[in-house]
Structure 1
Amino acid sequence: MLRRTCLSLVLAGLTLAQAAEKLAGGPLVVNVGADRATVVWIVETQQARLGETPDQLNMLAPLLKTERIIFTGLRPGRTYYYDVLGLDEGRGRFKTPPTGQAAFRFVVFGDTRTRHEVHAKVVQAVAKTEPDFVLHTGDLVADGEAVTQWPVFFSIERDLLRKTVFFPTPGNHERGAGYYYEFFQAEPYYSFDWGAVHVAALNSDYSNAARTEAGRERFWAEQLRWLESDLARAQKADLRFVMMHHPPFTAVKRRQGESPNRVERDLVPVFERYKIHAVFCGHDHNYQHHLKNGVHYIVTGGGGAPLYPADAPLPGITLKAETVENFVQADVRGSKVRFQAFTPEGRLLDSFELGR
């Protein structure tokens, strides 16, 4: 049982200095529960070379290796400090989920795949809010199968990731999502509890869920059954949220009717039946807030990707739509939550409260 709030661990044979390895990503904290947490970091072990002739191997690609350590015996609602490399860049901190109705903060944003200077600006603004955890709504990079893009993502997010807990969901740009699942030690869909909050994270990217249509149908059916079971067990949670990449509703004219039909057809009735308070999405590169049959749908896809015009608000559904980079801050107090959407410059876009 760990009794101290400072954990120091130097893994023999795995430090960068000893192994001559370069830190390519992390450290970051994932899969956190009341009594456990996983710290992950990615190292570049060497570079592969490729060329059209043996003496001109001028194309380089890094060989990346994922390392992880699972801490157990933790206590809920505590801050822990870690050191996984024996160097300054390997140190960080995180909080474990509190029990009951303790106050905490989380932040939601997504679509960080391009315009790295904008991505950095959003991340810097998010880091200043000091969230207990972060939800990323997908499209972390432009091509999830391009190994060279991931070190860029981790470099931009490094200072944020080492001081919070990261919960992502895959977008269509993660494609087969092989690197995504390895780096974040994630499942295609999962859920977690944090104080009075329950969050279910879904994979809405039907087209990349499997290689065959039969496989995609099987995946979707299994995910839907899991979601029904998960939300049924979560009915005692004061606040129930869902995170996925594709929004069922959009104020972007050229996007209307584009999202997988099964997202609106299959998932929206489940959200309404189990009285989900809010659904967080990305995919559309702007800020949107919709309300339908008691469920709030928040589109926060302004993390760096080129903006899409929010030019076609849906009558009777859309409460707010603005073409701007953004993130959403959520402050939970007891059984209530206050949402505020901001630009990275600090302009307030939207504010509302949920809960009882």
Structure 2
Amino acid sequence: MKQKYPLSWKLFLYSLGLLAIAVIAISVVLFAFPKPAAPLSPPPSFTLTPPPVASPTPSPTLEVVTPIPSTTATVIPSATTTRPPATLTDGSFVATPIPLGSQELKDFVFAVSGDSRGGDEVYLEILRRVEEDGAAFFVNTGDLVNYGTSKEFQHFADLMSDFTIPFFPVAGNHDSFDGLLDEYLEYSGAPAAHYSFDYGQGHFVVIDSHNGVLQNSEIDWLGADLSSTDQPLKVVFLHHPPFDPDGTDHIMRHGNEKFMELVEEYAVSYVFAGHIHAYVEGLRNDVRYIITGGGGAPLYFAGHPNAFYHYVRVTVSGTNIITEVVKIDTP
């Protein structure tokens, strides 16, 4: 006989079953969906402060100066009266000076600037101003282009096509393609990597330092060339400065001391260089060094008074030399 339970007992069992089902459901929810973790605190933030940029520091023996309107030097005529032939050790050397006019004592102006590479707007303005000056000739102290390719040199030649003044280039490190100067020599108008020429009472020498060094053979060639002239004014042009005005590696890596000793020995009045995109002037043992690297390439030392686009106008008057720094304003 089937046992009968009272209604109250049935209700109790029914409630207990519902409670068990609820407990199981809550447990499933808790284990299936764990409580979300507390949000992570954001990582600490850091502010990077760039190190202070030092202003160019002068070398112990040379003075870095703010450009002055003009510098005057007196050239003492050399006592040398004979011109022994220069000794050549490399086919790229040109010993015979290129005459540009009478060798008589006279007044004339020439211009110097360097590191034009790609700064066409500035460089074209320099060319225009140099023509207005009536300069006898213009020297670019190197880095005519950026990468030394034939395409770049063809563009540079186009820039120079309307320039009517004799132009004398210097090889810079950016003018070399794969370490060679083939395109430079083909398109720049340079007769050789090293050469010299005479104008008026001046003897002007271009020497190649595009790889950052001067070998002994090149120093020997320079000495032979300088010893072969009796011109009272002697000026040398190269790309890499032989000294370091700002504490970095902007100078020749080899041959600089021999070079400076040599130009002192032969009473060179001025040495013009480029490579540093600013204007720097220094005097060492009666030889004045001028770095003119403001021909159009991006400037170094932003905000420094020596960092501006420019060229140098050089006036030769008898045995006096006057240099003027001509600033080029940019938009």
Q: Does TM, scored on the shorter chain, surpass 0.5?
A: yes
Q: Residues 241-278 of structure 1, C-alpha deviation per residue, up to 9 Å, x if partnerless? A: 1000001224334xx34422324222111111111111
Structure-2-length-normalised TM-score: 0.65
| Maintained 8 Å contact 2:215/2:254 | no
Q: Which residue among 140, 151, 155 is the counterpart of 2:154?
A: 151
Report the equivalent of 1:239.
233
Counterpart mapping for 1:23-42 below 5 A: 33-34=98-99
- 1:228 is the counterpart of 2:223: yes
User: TM-score scaled to structure 1, two decimals?
Assistant: 0.60
Secondary structure at 2:174 match in 1 = helix
Structure 1 residue 158 displacement after superposition: 2.6
Q: 1:140 aligns with which of 141, 144, 151?
A: 144
**Partner SS state of residue 198, structure 2:** strand
Residue in structure 1 matched with residue 198 of structure 2 by the alignment:
193
1:310/1:193 CA distance change after superposition, 3 Å:
farther
Q: Per-residue CA shift, 1:167-207, capped at 9, x if unaligned? A: 11100011111111122152111111111111111011235
Unmatched 5+ stretches in structure 1: 1-30, 35-95, 208-215, 313-320, 347-356
Alignment-mate amino acid for residue 156 of structure 2: F
CA–CA distance in structure 2, aligned partners of residues 165 and 275 of structure 1: 26
* Bigger RCO (CA 8 Å, 6+ sep): 2
Give the Cα–Cα distance (whole angstroms) in 1 for the partners of residues 159 and 235 of structure 2: 27
Q: 2:220 & 2:154 partners in 1: Cα distance?
A: 35
What pairs with 1:169-208 in structure 2 (closer than 5 Å)? 169-175=170-176, 176-183=180-187, 184-206=189-211
What CA distance in whole angstroms lies between the structure 2 residues aligned with 1:273 and 1:310? 37
Match of 2:103 among 94, 99, 102: 99
The 1:336/1:100 distance shift into structure 2, 3 A limit, reads same
Residue 110 of structure 2 corresponds to residue 110 of structure 1: no
Residue aligned with 1:270, SS = helix
Q: In the TM superposition, what are the counterparts of 1:1-356 in structure 2 within 5 Å?
A: 33-34=98-99, 96-144=100-148, 146-160=149-163, 163-175=164-176, 176-183=180-187, 184-206=189-211, 220-234=215-229, 236-253=230-247, 256-309=248-301, 322-345=306-329
User: Is the CA contact (8 Å cut-off) linking 1:114 and 1:306 kept in structure 2?
Assistant: no
- CA deviation after TM superposition for structure 1 residue 159, in Å: 2.4
Deviation, structure 1 residue 120 = 2.0
SS state at 2:161 partner: helix
Q: How many Å separate the matches in 1 of 2:251 and 2:184?
A: 22
Q: Distance in 2 between matches of 1:220 and 1:251?
A: 23
C-alpha distance in 2 between matches for 1:168 and 1:193? 15
**Matched residues in 2 for 1:228 and 1:32: separation?**
14
Q: CA deviation at 1:282?
A: 0.4
Name the amino acid aligned to 1:226. Answer: W
Q: CA deviation at 1:310?
A: 7.8
Cα distance in 2, alignment partners of residues 173 and 223 from structure 1: 20
Please state whether the residue corresponding to 1:261 is helix, strand or coil: coil
Alpha-carbon RMSD:
2.3
Residues 47-89 of structure 1: per-residue CA shift (max 9 Å, x gap): xxxxxxxxxxxxxxxxxxxxxxxxxxxxxxxxxxxxxxxxxxx
- Structure 2 unmatched ranges of 5 or more: 1-95
**Aligned to 2:251, what secondary structure does the other structure show?**
coil
For 1:164, the aligned partner's letter is I
